[in-house]
Amino acid sequence: MPSISPSPVLRGEKHSFSFAQAPHEMVLENGSRIGPVTIAYETFGRLTPAKDNAILVAHAFTGDSHVAGLYADEPDDARPGWWDSMVGPGRGIDTDRFFVICSNILGGCAGSTGPSSLHPTSGRPYGLDFPMVTIGDMVTAQKALLDHLEIDRLVAVIGGSLGGMQTLEWCVRYPDMIRAAIPIATTMRHSALAIAFNEVARQAIMADPNWKRGDYYGTAGPDTGLAVARMIGHVTYLSDQAMRRKFGRRLQDKQDFSFGFDADFQVESYLRHQGNKFVQRFDANSLLYITKASDYFDLKEAPGKPFREPGTAGTKFLVVSYTSDWLYPTYQARELVQALKRSGRDVSFCEIEADCGHDAFLIPDERLNTLVRGFLDGLA
Amino acid sequence: MPSISPSPVLRGEKHSFSFAQAPHEMVLENGSRIGPVTIAYETFGRLTPAKDNAILVAHAFTGDSHVAGLYADEPDDARPGWWDSMVGPGRGIDTDRFFVICSNILGGCAGSTGPSSLHPTSGRPYGLDFPMVTIGDMVTAQKALLDHLEIDRLVAVIGGSLGGMQTLEWCVRYPDMIRAAIPIATTMRHSALAIAFNEVARQAIMADPNWKRGDYYGTAGPDTGLAVARMIGHVTYLSDQAMRRKFGRRLQDKQDFSFGFDADFQVESYLRHQGNKFVQRFDANSLLYITKASDYFDLKEAPGKPFREPGTAGTKFLVVSYTSDWLYPTYQARELVQALKRSGRDVSFCEIEADCGHDAFLIPDERLNTLVRGFLDGLA
């Protein structure tokens, strides 16, 4: 595939917006109330005077609002945003044409209100006093942000994985606001397998004595548990094929086995490195809350309940899956496509051949760019 | 499939045998020495005077010598052995005809010498002073047991998973002793994916402060870490399909979500239960050593080295895989079959259609019985 070079010209700024000040707290799906709520967000491109060119990007589990480009106020920022290959001038989501918004999810730890934020009454971090938030609550918070920006129509909502769930939930909650939706590498509901991996990750964190039932802020946190949780997640984002290609049975900095518990194989070192890197940037409690939100997500409210139909007859959907994604396999994307079609929706579906597993949507690939660009062009 | 009823008549006895007393310690593959070595084993059926009807069963990772039947000296023993559906009178491995031997592996924790055994000099449990043992060392210890029983020919070696690796290693080390070999649901070498899951399980144990670098005997052990490790392993032994069928998104003892970190879904309760049950019977250090042995196993001694050909031109192989096994998928069984064929071996191969994942070989299934029975009949 052709390589995609970074966008040196795209410079983003991080903003934040607060709402739901007491006594007007946000009412969550489980009935509890939270406020004030801060949402960290970034925008790219220019909003037209008619405010008719906005696209909302919903980030995946461990993502943040920094979708693309480099930070304007950090001239040495060496690392472009997490979807720089997709969002930028001339990219699949062309920032010369569209005004792109991405906010950190409610419950996250990259600027938006989450379990590491300060409780308004106690002044101490919420910890487990943070209420359980759902994908629906994340979407409601994003809607408040759009109200703040005075945007009442979106050209599209797009996102992969947990971002795909938010995309679908947006279409359920605000069907009239959305022209098109692009859920990528996602599912209508978690399988038992996906719940199982999330549960093991949660147990790894809660098994760490430094977790202290979530009340670890200001002390040594549950870093070892969080690292193990990340390692579990990371394996599920890859694929057998990708791991064979990337690591095989190659040894790490040695000619022979150590016959001990050091990392012998490159894949072991890689996972340890991923785990250790993750604890620098992610809050363990956020992982607990976000995994739980993804387990709860279901386009049926509950087993036996009717399908919560996303969008309207006018909403256009582009559903994308990847051949080697075993976390949300193509058969689950097909179930989504069939459900949307039964609801009379206008659906395009594409399964992309890729051997890199669930994370494929994050990897620069001109095919996804072409697909998204063509789909957005067709909305005219 | 027809159900297979337990064998009320089969009564086993647990024996043990010790060898490698100082100064004649066993020399391990990594060059270190260990002794004395105790091997716990059980036998079923009767050895002929000519000693020509013995079959060795090699157990999987967390198995033990108790393959089948109930213990003779425990009249209330309610739980038959782990492969009771396969081994017994009239079963696939017919104990009316064959003398069946199964021993707990070296490094294990069910009677054979392992890291929880006492160090001969210090009188304290080995812990991490236990030397790294390989699949080859496990086989060497089994060979010492056969010498002790004065058996110099085996009709067959058979085993699933780690037992399949031992089966192949037996054929490499003692090709002239073996008439036939039945490696089931196994691989010639771990993929990066299999190593990755083992490594995450090990990290979960080593992250538990109660692990104390393996020196936890007589204190509260690393139970929470071990439970997480077991949960990880357990998920890899199942399959997406089996988990959908068995659990789906059904809730555990509740009508609605808890909106907390209790187990909401049945699959969560199930995994927690499996984890907690496992710590009652398994030693965390044994898990570390055995997973490492399985990661090291390779029918090439090292990358780039030639294939270590199992058996002789006269050895008959039956290789079995399962359609839904994603830990050791069928493509890996096919690679084994092709390598054996290139070595001029007589190989039969069967992929069994089953949706229950890697653990399928442990689940009563008349098809495997029929296959093994027919293969053994054909050896005459």
- Residue numbers in B near A303 (CB within 8 A): 248-251
Q: Kindly state whether residues B60 and B179 are assigned to the same domain.
A: yes
Q: Are residues A46 and A163 in the same domain?
A: yes
Same domain assignment for residues A59 and A159: yes
State the nearest Cα–Cα gap between B130 and chain A, in angstroms.
Answer: 10
**B242 is a domain residue:** yes
Which amino acid is it at A44? F
CATH of the domain at A86: 3.40.50.1820
B15: number of Cβ within 10 Å: 17
Contact call for residues B358 and B237 (beta carbons, < 8 A): yes
Series of mean pLDDT values for 10-residue runs along chain B (380 residues): 56 88 95 97 95 98 92 70 94 96 98 97 97 98 98 98 98 98 98 97 97 97 97 96 94 86 94 96 98 95 81 96 98 97 97 96 96 94
Domain boundary residue among A252, A271, A290? Answer: A290
Q: Please say which residue of B261, B290, B319 terminates a domain.
A: B290
Both A55 and A91 in one domain: the answer is yes
**pLDDT block averages, 10 residues each, chain A of length 380:** 56 88 95 97 95 98 92 70 94 96 98 97 97 98 98 98 98 97 98 97 97 97 97 96 94 87 94 96 98 95 81 96 98 97 97 96 96 94
Decide which of A257, A290, A323 is a domain's last residue. Answer: A290
User: What is the gyration radius of the CA atoms in chain B, in angstroms?
Assistant: 21
Picking from B130, B137, B191, B199 by the largest number of A CB atoms within 10 A of its own CB, the best residue to mutate is B199
CA B114 to CA B54: how far, in whole Å? 26
State which H helix or E strand residue B102 sits in: strand B99-103
User: Domain of B235: which CATH number?
Assistant: 1.10.1740.110
- So what's the pLDDT on residue B1? 44
Cα–Cα distance list, B134 to A41, A177, B297 (Å)? 53, 62, 7
Which residues in chain A are contacts of B209 at CB distance < 8 A? 209
- CB B240 within 8 Å of CB A193: yes
Do residues A335 and A255 share a domain?
no
Same domain, residue pair A269 and A328: no
Q: Do B166 and B269 belong to one domain?
A: no
What tokens does A41 get? Answer: 């967000």
In this prediction, residue B306 carries a pLDDT of 86
Does the distance separating the beta carbons of A263 and B199 come in below 8 Å? yes
A77 within some domain:
yes
Is B27 within a domain? yes
Give residue A8's pLDDT. Answer: 55
Q: Annotated active-site positions of B, please?
A: 161, 325, 358
B256/A199 Cβ within 8 A: no
Is residue B3 one of the residues assigned to a domain?
Answer: no
User: Are B104 and B235 contained in the same domain?
Assistant: no
- Do B132 and A260 form a contact (C-beta atoms < 8 A)? yes
Q: How confident is the model at residue A77, as a pLDDT?
A: 64
* A373 within domain boundaries: yes
User: Is B5 within a domain?
Assistant: no
> Could you give the CA distance from residue B295 to residue A198 in angstroms, rounded to a whole number?
25
Q: Which 3 state secondary structure label does DSSP give A321? A: strand
User: Would you say residue A224 lies in a domain?
Assistant: yes
Same domain, A35 and A165: yes
Helices (H), chain B: 135-148, 162-173, 192-206, 223-237, 240-246, 266-281, 284-296, 330-342, 366-377
Structural tokens at position A47: 């909003």
C-alpha torsion sign, points A168, A174, A176, A180: negative
Q: Does A89 reside within a domain? A: yes
pLDDT at B252: 87
The secondary element (H helix, E strand) that includes residue B180 is strand B178-184
Nearest-angstrom CA–CA distance, B339 and B331: 12
Q: What is the pLDDT of residue B72?
A: 66
Q: Provide the pLDDT for residue A1.
A: 44
Nearest residue of A to residue B257 by CA position? Answer: A296
Q: CA distances (Å), B68 to each of A368, B6, B60, B99, B280, in order?
A: 54, 9, 14, 13, 21
The domain total for chain B is 2
Same domain, B265 and B354: no
What digits encode the pLDDT tens for the residues A340-359? Answer: 999 999 999 999 999 999 99
Alpha helices by DSSP H, A282-319: 284-296
A261, A270, A288, A294: best mutation site toward chain B, by most B Cβ within 10 Å?
A261
Which residues of A are designated catalytic?
161, 325, 358
CA distances from residue A362 to A59, A160, B86, B379 in whole angstroms, order as listed: 11, 8, 47, 54
Residue-level pLDDT at B254: 80
Instruction: Report ipTM (2 d.p.).
Output: 0.93
**Hey, are the CB atoms on B231 and A200 less than 8 Å from each other?**
yes
- Regarding whether B38 and B148 lie in a shared domain, the answer is yes
Measured between beta carbons, the chain B residues lying within 8 angstroms of A231 are: 196, 199-200, 203
Same domain as A217, residue A171: no
Q: Which domain holds residue B270?
A: 195-290
Residue A246 makes CB contacts below 8 A (sequence gap 6+) with A238, A267, A270, B192
Q: What is the pLDDT of residue B367?
A: 97
